[in-house]
Amino acid sequence: MQKEFQILVERKLVLQDRSTGQKGEIRLAIGQPYWSDPGMEGSCPVALYGYHGRLADIRGIDPLSALALAIPFLESLLEGLPENLTVYWPSGEAYFDE
């Protein structure tokens, strides 16, 4: 189990199950990147709260690389959700162009 982390940036969205109509908040969260192996490898904590929860840290060649990889990783999780789940901005607009 991954330990919790201090959130550096987050995005709040709405997840709707079209089969039941049920809606709930989800949060993409990225923590402070850090050196996991000084001079060799950086890591960045990530989470998708409201669906997956805390995930394994994203790793890169340095902390900046890990941070840069974290954003598309979280986006890919949203893109890969089951077809019955739809993501919306809090305003109600579709998150992805359909």
In the chain, domain spans: 7-88
pLDDT number for residue 1: 61
E strand map for 6-45:
7-17, 23-31, 34-37, 41-44
pLDDT number for residue 96: 93
- How confident is the model over 1-47, as pLDDT tens digits? 678 899 999 999 999 999 999 999 999 999 999 999 988 999 999 99
53: left (phi over 0), alpha (psi -120 to 50) or beta: left
Q: What is the pTM of this model?
A: 0.91
